[in-house]
Amino acid sequence: MNDMSDVPTAVQAFAETEATATPAVMVVNHPLVQHKVTLVRSEETTTDNFRRLVREISQLLTYEATRDLAMETIAIKTPIAPMQSPVLSGKKLCLVSILRAGNGFLDGMLDLLPAARVGHIGLYRDPETLEPIEYYFKMPEDIQERFVIVVDPMLATGNSAIAAINRLKEAGVTTMKYVCLIASRPGLRALQSAHPDVGIVTAAIDEQLNEHGYIVPGLGDAGDRLYGTK
């Protein structure tokens, strides 16, 4: 993976190799996103403000995650004249939340994608092995026919993301993206190794994990901060 962290572009693309056409990792480096990420990282940010900021960031990330959706033109009539105008086409969308923190992303994304269906995967991380354990899986019946966006604020070890995408592929999903607020470099490498066909959109990449599998510097436990449980 090429380190392009010094490239001052609005959206930085990572993980494109000469040998493999791997979907890019998109780091949304827009000033508004980066400003809000700084606020959401701060330990001084209150629960209500944290929740609001995550919702706002999720909307901005959704804008990039859906940039390549298929379009078609239809005939409409404005108050002035008839015209041909673009609308979405192709596969319908499903947002899949990795519980519980993924739900903090859903409200903001659904503001932009109100017609999207929603699925949930319940995973918790074993504190000793850091491996994910599934306790819930509920998807639309036609999930295999939809374009799926998997959402979770933190991509730490990558184990939960890999397990969720494994499960979705078992259910017949063929087209996916993964959207997170902060990703660790080890988590990115693990997810891309396991699922090189899944594009990733994030607001920041941090280099390290600590001994408990938390991203450093990260922002702490996203679920606890969203729901005020710690």
Delimit the domains of the chain by residue range: 25-227
Residues 31 and 9: their CA atoms lie apart, in Å, by 11
Identify whether 225 is a catalytic site residue: no
Residue 68 annotated as catalytic: no
Helix (H) or strand (E) holding 122: strand 117-125
pLDDT at position 215 over 50: yes
What single-letter amino acid sits at 30?
H
Check residue 210 and give its pLDDT: 92
Length of the chain: 230
Q: Which of 45, 117, 167, 221 is catalytic?
A: 221
Contact assessment for residue 128 and residue 104, using Cβ atoms and an 8 Å cutoff: no
- Asked if the model's pLDDT at residue 83 lies above 60, the reply is yes
pLDDT at 133: 85
The arithmetic mean of pLDDT across residues 108-115, rounded, is 92
Among residues 52, 55, 125, 167, the one annotated as catalytic is 125
Q: What is the pLDDT of residue 4?
A: 41
Catalytic, 3? Answer no
DSSP character for 9? -
**Catalytic site residue from 17, 38, 46, 129:** 129
What is residue 75's three-state secondary structure?
A: strand
Could you list the residues known to form a binding site, using ranges: 100, 125, 152-160, 215, 220-222
Known binding-site residue numbers for 5-phospho-alpha-D-ribose 1-diphosphate: 100, 125, 152-160, 221
Average pLDDT over residues 12-34: 66
Q: Does the structure show a pLDDT above 60 at 146?
A: yes
Residues 6 or more apart in contact with residue 47 via CB below 8 angstroms: 225, 226, 227, 228
Highest mean pLDDT out of 36-45, 88-97, 104-113: 36-45
| Mean pLDDT estimate for the chain | 87
Residue 97 has pLDDT above 80, yes or no: yes
Give the residue among 174, 217, 182, 228 at the shortest CA–CA distance from 201: 182
Q: Give the residue with greater pLDDT, 18 vs 206.
A: 206
How do residues 161-204 score in pLDDT, each as one tens digit?
999 999 999 999 999 999 999 999 999 999 999 999 999 999 99
The question of whether 221 is a catalytic residue gets the answer: yes
Q: What are phi and psi of 50, to 5 degrees?
A: -60, -45
Strands 25-28 and 93-99: unpaired
Instruction: Count CB atoms within 10 A of the CB of residue 133.
Output: 12
Fold of 25-227: Rossmann fold (3.40.50)
- The confidence score (pLDDT) of residue 23 equals 64
For residue 76, list its beta bridge partners.
83
